[in-house]
Amino acid sequence: MFDVAIIGAGVIGSCAARELSQFNLKIVVLEKKHDVAQGSSKANSGIVHGGYDAKPGTQKAKYNVLGQQMFDKLAAELGFPFRRNGSLVISDETGIDKLEVLKNQGIANGLTDLRIIHGEELRRLEPNLGDKVHAALVVPGGGIVCPYAMTIAFAENAAANGVQFMLGCTVLDIKKEEGSFSIVTSRETINAQMVVNAAGLHSDEINNLLSSRKLKIVPRRGEYCLLDKTEGKLVQHTIFQLPTKMGKGVLVTPTVDGNLLLGPTSEDIDEKDNTATTANGLNDVLQRAQFSLNHLPANKIISSFTGLRSTLVPEGDVTNDFIVEEAADVPGLINLCGIESPGLTAAPAIAVETARMIADRLKPAVNENFNPLRKGIRHFREMSNEERKTAIQINPDYGHVICRCESVTKAEILAALRSPLSKNNNINCLDAIKRRTRAGMGRCQSGFCWMRLIDIIAEECGIDVTEVSKSGGRSNILVECNKSGMR
């Protein structure tokens, strides 16, 4: 019997797991994918939103502002990349009144450092803005983060503090029994006193198995273009355009890893697992981004991807605001539903509230052995030459560069494979290594390093090269030997 079962190992579930590990609780995280951060947490803008956009008085506004204020401390504790680069909301001459509305919303939400700038001051901040950009709302609290690196950091720290992760474990059914929940999964039946529904796009389905208050989530597709690191300094701030009813619009932003990111589009679709990119969507990103930048280097795109946001359909007393509450008719079910943008920013604050609700009900003792610190992988590309020399002397595998585009060494790949979360859950696919080390994320998109990565994974994990997959499960890359004995 577990005290708490968390369904979903995205940023919401992983943050909640880490926060709850501060108590003496037996906790399990159930995730249908073969790694953490495989849904909306993997493919999004990686923006820490300042808090001006959400309507005052909403859950989105509350948790956005609380969450963004936590990032400096959490990044230091957990070793994930974060930079408070600030954001600008830009407009032409006709949008000044709308910028004032956003400024006043931000002030109502508790922000005190917002201002609107024009002309030379704006051009000094961002000289490459488009010619039609006339004014901007300056939001100093905005920042950028790597969304999957952040999720992995929370999950690894939760695991180090005793949380059990069951990956590749799909929830099939849930029943409320006397004093507990019986959760039928693709692997076994789990019993828990309380359930945290952090299932993202599928959180409505989990809720609807138990509660008479039915929810409906529609996936909102957003497509992105990622540009080479040569373009990463075209802007310093995250550049937003004026938001619309469908979202915050197409942005242009540097990433914490030095690339330039454009997107997303915003389109409601029917399929919750449809992450295909489209020609129309990517063209739309490029066309809209041209307002933000004076020169858009579309020939420097190295990758494109699609993310899906969990948008609640307003029906009855359900709005499109975040749901962060215990279900009124299902005691012990904590619903974290409809957590779309700014969900990544809000996640740490939502986790604090989740832990409070569970602690109020279960009255657990404090975990005196809780360690808030997590030491991440030390990346060769971030070292000085002197630090590299010392690292190689201590560990010769730092002298063996596997991914030339991103300067990823064998030492970093082995560290990713040997982390307790990875080792205990057989997280050994190419995409998992990519997310933890950036091997394969450079200009050639793994064109030169994938075979060497496969060999290292197979040797370290004691498996045949044909068992190494791209993204877990049955996504095998190599199948069998040809007549010459080559794979």
DSSP state string for 155-214: HHHHHHTT-EEEES--EEEEEEETTEEEEEESS-EEEEEEEEE--GGGHHHHHHTT-SS-
Among candidate residues 49, 202, 237, 379, the one labeled active-site is: 49
Q: Using CB atoms within 10 Å of the CB of residue 215, give its burial: 0 to 12 exposed, 13 to 18 middle, 19+ buried.
A: buried
Bridging pattern class, strands 401-403 and 171-177:
unpaired
The Cα–Cα gap between 248 and 429 comes to 34
DSSP state string for 365-415: PB-TT-------PPPGGGS-HHHHHHHHHH-GGGG-EEETTTTEEHHHHHH
The Cα–Cα gap between 250 and 230 comes to 21
Contacts of 221 (CB under 8 A, 6+ apart): 265, 266, 267, 268, 269, 274, 275, 281, 306, 307, 308
The Cα–Cα gap between 158 and 425 comes to 14
333 forms beta bridges with: 195
Please list the alpha-helical segments (H only) found in 243-376: 279-289, 343-362
Phi, psi of 299 (to 5 degrees): -75, -5
The Cα–Cα gap between 336 and 308 comes to 17
34 classed as catalytic: no
Contacts of 386 (CB under 8 A, 6+ apart): none
Residues recognised as catalytic: 49
